[in-house]
Amino acid sequence: MKKIKSFLLLLSFAMLFFSCNNNNDIPGYTQGVIRFTSPTGSDPNNGCGYVIDINGATYSPVSLDSKYQVNNMVVYVQYQTTGQRVTCKDAPNGLEQISIQNIRSK
């Protein structure tokens, strides 16, 4: 009987642990982080402006609403790649441009 109680207690804890979801992901959206790459020195074109890091890659959004132009802001986006690249001094090989369909803050 003691083994059954122990098993049921362990099973209850396992169910509780796996049913709690601390992940704040929004279904259908991909998490990203907005970063501002500011111009440096006397050349205002050194930075790439606002970029978004998604899944280890950095993208240049075609347009980014001003309310999301906050450095290190966590956002959730639905986006499409445009097939275009943007070059800047921070990314001499270019950044892939994305078109943001929907965006939400955390």
Give residue-wise pLDDT tens across range 24-80.
578 999 999 999 987 655 555 567 889 999 999 999 999 999 999 999 999 999 999
pLDDT at 8 over 70: no
Confidence at 94, pLDDT banded by 50, 70, 90: confident
Domain covering 24-105 in this structure, CATH number: 2.40.50
The neighbour count for residue 98, using CB atoms within 10 Å, is 21
Structure tokens at 76: 């959730």
Query: Who's near 100: CB < 8 A, 6+ residues apart?
Result: 61, 62, 63, 64, 77, 78, 79
Contact between 21 and 44 (Cβ < 8 Å) = no
